[in-house]
Structure 1
Amino acid sequence: MMNQQGIFIVIEGLEGAGKSSAVALVNAYLEARFPGREIVNTREPGGTPLAEEIRAIWKRPREEAMAPMTELLMVYACRAQLVEGVIKPALARGAVVLGDRHDLSSQAYQGGGRGLSEQVAALAKITLGGLKPDLTLYLDIDPALGLSRAQARGALDRIEQETLSFFQRARARYLAEAAADPDIVLIDASQPIEKVHEAIVDQLNQRLGVSA
């Protein structure tokens, strides 16, 4: 996989799965094993100045309930801006793009959690035009455990305040997508963090053709 073409790697998972530490690990891994290779870090929703403004509105709790379709359209507005302004140009010049979430999050959260699978599929087709990560590391965790970890971090955002059943539906979609796509690798995120990181490095070594 690791040639002169651009590579797109994504970290996915529910709240409390440990995405931030996984992103830091993968970034350090890439810097150490491929010195001189450009690495572009992104996050979704967000990743550009305009998309970050939308993200701030999207995540902030408020008295007015956000309609599911509003939530969906806002996240794809962010994604369209990020894909056209950052991801596609970076891949075209041969960079490694390391994403903290991408379209699989919408399939899980808005498709599974909100029940908007058809709308997600339609917007993904319009927005992505066939763009797909080369490798997705999905950090799987029981929603109850993940939410307890998120609560321990402090104040919860709008999505983190959702019901347990919402996250259970999202996880079910994550698992279904991982089972159907060989480019989505499931990592057990309920393990001690050292074991999680070992599993991530092992998968990177296999996928990128690096000797352990």
Structure 2
Amino acid sequence: MNDVGLTSASHLISLEGGEGAGKSTVLAALASVLNETGVSVVCTREPGGSPLAEDIRQLLLNRTEDGPTADTELLLMFASRAQHVQRVIAPALAAGAWVLSDRFTDASYAYQGAARGIDTDIIAQLERRFVGIVPGLTLLLDVPVDVGRARASGRGAPDRIEREKDIFFEHVRAAYRTRAEADPQRFRVIDATQSPGDVADEAVRHLRAYMKDHA
């Protein structure tokens, strides 16, 4: 279910989920499987992924005084994403590589849309104009907010977004689940309350099944 103006990139796989879902562990497992097949793999993240996009990430996550408004946060996110796509993702896909991204545009619908209250029509317009592609496969690592936040609390000082209240992340989780239900062809939902190994194994199974039709 892709909006008009968006192209499905079959070799772009995104990992989505709230805080503490375990995306980094899963990304490493997926990269290992792809490497075993002999294909080129690019692992990246959002916000960030390119030098300029990483600079924008610092503004988004570390700014405490005069932090961005909701609208500014959205625009900075898409500025970072546009740079990321044009400098990293699109060239990698054009060269025949598979791209694994820790978050992509779905995150803006969840965080800036549902949690910040920005009209999703605005997000869709930015997506069509400045991104132009959607992942061929999105793995949603779904975990209750209290479980995910407890895990994330052991990672060090929280960033600006991680300091939001539980209700913020409840909105994020609900939005992700709604998007997955609306687009079952692209999304695979994984119960991330399982052990890290079991979550990674399930993600790998989804990847292997997907690769059979998208070699």
Count of aligned pairs: 203
> Mapping of 1:3-42 within 5 angstroms?
7-32=11-36, 34-35=37-38, 37-42=39-44
Which ranges of structure 2 fall in alignment gaps of 5 or more residues?
1-8
Residue identity over aligned pairs, in percent, reads: 43
What amino acid sits opposite 1:177 in the alignment? Answer: R
Report deviation, 1:64. 2.1
Which ranges of structure 1 fall in alignment gaps of 5 or more residues?
none
Specify the alignment match of 1:125 in structure 2.
128
What amino acid sits opposite 2:32 in the alignment? Answer: A
Instruction: Please say if residues 10 and 99 of structure 1, whose CA atoms lie closer than 8 Å, have aligned partners that are also in contact.
Output: yes
Q: Give TM-score, length-normalised by structure 1.
A: 0.92
Q: Distance in 2 between matches of 1:43 and 1:64?
A: 25
Report deviation, 1:72. 0.4
What amino acid sits opposite 1:208 in the alignment? Answer: M
Aligned-pair Cα RMSD in Å:
1.4
Specify the alignment match of 2:103 in structure 1.
101
Specify the alignment match of 1:204 in structure 2.
207
Secondary structure of the equivalent of 2:134?
A: coil
Instruction: Please say if residues 140 and 187 of structure 1, whose CA atoms lie closer than 8 Å, have aligned partners that are also in contact.
Output: yes
Specify the alignment match of 1:193 in structure 2.
196
Answer with 99-108 or 118-127: which moved more.
118-127
Report deviation, 1:46. 0.6
Secondary structure of the equivalent of 1:209?
A: helix
Q: Distance in 1 between matches of 2:70 and 2:186?
A: 29
Q: Distance in 2 between matches of 1:29 and 1:125?
A: 31
1:169 aligns with 2:164: no
Q: Distance in 2 between matches of 1:204 and 1:167?
A: 27
Secondary structure of the equivalent of 1:11?
A: strand
